[in-house]
Amino acid sequence: MADHHTDKGFAESVEELRTWLDSADKILLGAGAGLSAAAGLSYLDEALFKQFQPEMAALGYHYPYELFQHENDGWPQAREWAYLIRHINFVRYTFPASELYKKLLKLVEGRDFFAVTSNCDRQLMRAGFPMDRVFEAQGSYDRLRCTENCTRETWEIKPHIDKLLPLIDPETFMISDESAIPYCPYCGAPLYTAFRAFEGYKAEQQRFYDWIGTTGGKKLCIVELGVGFNTPAVIRWPFERLAYASGNAHLFRVNKEYREWPGHGGFSEVPEELKGKATPMPYDAGDVIRRLYEALPPERK
């Protein structure tokens, strides 16, 4: 963990954020990949990748983000599923519920808040966040859909993970019994992660929109945690627009430069148009959350 505890800029900006959190009528949280990375689940962590995807590491891949673009590699379904279930099983079921996310919940517990995340790892749910106050904008890894969209029905992925994990051949990194690979029961097309294409997505999205509709005229504290440029239309740009349009809102953009991508800073920068309405915080989200948590009175911990 970086040592910002003697950094005057760090201390002053965290204190400003704490003051806003304490006095705001409403709090909007945005959780990006950098927050889960701060919690230890980084898709750019080579050591972690070797731990849960040793076969892929042996093939020359270095971290999960490389594999997110593997569609052109021509993988057969047997390898596609070996990779998919190994990845999802680790991220969703093996990696523990994060203490950092639990500390974040303590910062807003009992307040009128809403949390939006671009992560699919369900860490907000696993930390105990009430799901009627969470919008998983990119969905999650939990369900499967027909890739031909012949039906809107989706299926739980966990039973398939449990069935297929023992069938991964460590030599070929393929599912050894291809008859166990799930296909759509209606049209026979391959299944894949549903992400946003599950039955309750639109209702979840509407709850978020309805909550945003209640922020007019209120003191609104907007906090981005680890949001970069992978999917800026999900959190980054909407949060900027909301801060700009709101009469009494302030955006705190907490993000540091990724060590894996040196020279690609600017994750915490704010537009000139938000001068006075936004505070750039180029720090690790974990450092900021832990400092805020330490300042809580004992009865709130």
Return binding residues for Zn(2+). Answer: 146, 150, 184, 187
Binding site, by residue number, is 146, 150, 184, 187
DSSP E strands: which ranges in the chain? Answer: 26-31, 113-117, 134-136, 140-146, 155-156, 168-169, 174-175, 191-195, 220-225, 249-254, 278-281
Rounded Cα–Cα distance for residues 157 and 21 (Å): 38
The answer to whether the beta carbons of residues 116 and 235 sit under 8 Å apart is: yes
Element (H, E) at 196: none
Rounded Cα–Cα distance for residues 232 and 227 (Å): 8
Q: For residue 107, which of 291, 279, 278, 236 has the smallest C-alpha distance?
A: 291
SS3 216: coil
Strand 140-146 to 191-195 pairing:
antiparallel
